[in-house]
Amino acid sequence: MSKIKVGIIGCGGIANQKHLPALKSLSDRVEIVAFCDIIPERAEKACKEYGAEGAKVFTDYHDLLAMDEIVSVHVLTPNVSHCELTCAALDAGKNVLCEKPMAATPADAQKMLDAQKRSGKILTIGYQNRCRQDSLTLKAMCDNGDLGEIYYAKAHAIRRRGVPTWGVFPDKSKQGGGPLIDIGTHSLDLTLWMMNNYKPKSVMGASFEKLGRTLQPGNQGNTMGVWDPETYEVEDSAFGFVTMENGAVIVIEASWALNTLDISEALTELCGTKAGADMKDGLRINTVLYDKLTTIKPDCRTPKGVDFFEGFGALRPEVYEAKRYYDAIEGKGEPVVKPEEAFVVTQILDAVYQSAKTGKLIEF
């Protein structure tokens, strides 16, 4: 069986840290035949390390999309370019795995949905935190009704000092925002997915620019190096209060810089009518057994040596994500994330930003 031909658009940090190593793990099924980046040296370096024999390097994504043999494209660029590149790839007849978030705005995300429907191709978004073993275990419990009706939840994405100091992260024109759209998007996606609730009614939000633009080098304590407050254009923390159509409530908290010791990232906390759950010290289920308050820590491991077992992944999350995507391309199941789900994440994040800007409740 011939391998699936893959093209990579964007050869920066997320490509090298996540997608390219994941594809290398699936080298028996896929091969990367083209790399594109506006910085040619990055594309050439990625091609040398991960490319198939004869793989091509481009600086214009149109040249990559013109390659008829390419079946799948990974869009791994700054947030504001996701829409343009994904729509172009879908319209060129390619399947697409686009890195999170889906887009910087709901309008752009809608264009991506429309392009997917026009093309009939597969579109998925890179929310790999769904693919962790604790996430998969909790999702199975939620789907089984073990927590009952989930009516209150928290989406945690809090760093004390974790401002990314590479790439374009502090550049609002390219990213669309700061920690909310960068890491808050993961925790919100996890929360909505666990609740299986994608019908928001209203959002109230607040964001703060208290530290990123004021803390000077030498007084930052940042775990990711020194940032320049003069070029820091995004929020350093943001918070949202979401009411769903069925009355359920979700609290979102996200920060790159916040004076707190309660640090937690890409985690969800759920409160249901039968039990609750959180991920702050491994997966914990709180419930009542024999009239006693009880905390249970499920074993989230899969059988030793098993890569894929009844929906649970012993693979690394990014490999599990890629495997499910390429299974879907071959007609074997669905990718981990449906684009319609990622669209709602973008809607809610945008509403938090709009509410923070206007001070008003945003209603859907």
pLDDT at res. 11:
98
Complete domains list, the chain, with CATH: 4-129+327-339 (3.40.50.720), 134-314+344-363 (3.30.360.10)
pLDDT in tens, 197-248: 999 999 999 999 999 999 999 999 999 999 999 999 999 999 999 999 999 9
User: Mean pLDDT of all residues in the chain?
Assistant: 95
Phi-psi region of 168 (alpha: psi -120 to 50; beta: other; left: phi over 0): alpha
At residue 279, does pLDDT exceed 70? yes
Q: Which residue in the block uniquely carries the two structure tokens 């390659």?
A: 67
How many whole angstroms separate alpha carbon 214 and alpha carbon 155? Answer: 27
User: How far, in Å, CA of 152 to CA of 243, rounded?
Assistant: 10
pTM of the entire structure?
0.95
Which of 253-267, 313-327, 337-351 has the weakest average pLDDT? 313-327
pLDDT, tens digit, 9 for 90 and up, residues 12-36: 999 999 999 999 999 999 999 999 9
The dihedral sign for the CA sequence 183, 76, 203, 353:
positive
The arithmetic mean of pLDDT across residues 42-67, rounded, is 98
